[in-house]
Chains A and B, each alone.
Chain A
Amino acid sequence: AQKITQTQPGMFVQEKEAVTLDCTYDTSDQSYGLFWYKQPSSGEMIFLIYQGSYDEQNATEGRYSLNFQKARKSANLVISASQLGDSAMYFCAMKVYTGNQFYFGTGTSLTVIP
């Protein structure tokens, strides 16, 4: 069975500062992908970043980077230079190679303070 755990229900960060959102996962599959999605109050899930289980380097997409520690089964999202528009729910998700669905965590609510 696949499981995603996000232990931070809510986080606050000062504008222009960096913030790390935690994500741990559990799977017995060797081939899997880890994703982060942003969900504003409008409801749409916006794709941010992807990390494959065989990728040796941490993924980066603009201000987003994924701190992937395979041995610890963690895939933390780092947002640098936070902006007010970053305030939203953030979900960590996983897919396995043999499956066809996303497994989501419970999310972290990020609030950026001016």
Chain B
Amino acid sequence: DAGVTQSPTHLIKTRGQHVTLRCSPISGHKSVSWYQQVLGQGPQFIFQYYEKEERGRGNFPDRFSARQFPNYSSELNVNALLLGDSALYLCASSSGPSLGMNTEAFFGQGTRLTVV
């Protein structure tokens, strides 16, 4: 069975540019979450989507946006890139809508974004 797949795996962008990251959840999973992991830190929550609706948003500027498609795949968009956006972006899928306290999330290998 395929796990969570993310593309691309690595990306280099210039300040001010726009980037789109993609995620395909595990088959049957309807919830996708995005996390940003800056070097030396733990992942920070950006968004959660369930059934194409935004269910949660972390403390990130409006330059960050996301959407979920009918097949439950998701895109994370970041506009006007800053050097500080350089990070590993992780996508996580789960079966339920609001995760709950005991629902584990399955993570992809992430997209390593470098902004120069």
Contact = CB atoms under 8 A, between A and B. Distances in A.
Interface of A: 4, 31-33, 35, 37, 42-47, 50, 52-53, 91, 93, 95-97, 99-107
B105 A102 contact: yes
Contact of B109 (A4, A37, A42, A95): A42
A33 B98 CA distance: 13
B110 interface: yes
Given A43-B90, A101-B48, A105-B42, A95 B56 contact: no
Given A43-B110, A100-B98, A91 B42 contact: yes
A46 B110 CA distance: 12
B45 A43 contact: no
Contacts of A97: 100-101
Given A43-B90, A43-B110, A44-B107, A102 B101 contact: no
Interface of B: 33, 35, 40-45, 48, 55-56, 58, 88, 90, 92, 97-110, 112
A46 B56 CA distance: 23
A3 B56 CA distance: 18
B101 A101 contact: no
A42 B56 CA distance: 27
A47 B41 contact: no
Contacts of B100: 33, 95, 97
Which 3 residue pairs of A and B lie closest in terms of their CB atoms, listed nearest first?
A: A104-B42, A45-B107, A101-B45
Contacts of A4: 42
Contacts of A46: 107
Given A52-B101, A53-B101, A91-B42, A44 B110 contact: yes
B88 A101 contact: no
Contacts of B90: 43, 45
Contact of A45 (B43, B58, B112): B43
A32 B101 contact: yes
Given A43-B88, A101-B58, A95 B110 contact: no
Contact of A104 (B40, B43, B48, B102): B43
Contacts of B42: 4, 91, 93, 104-107
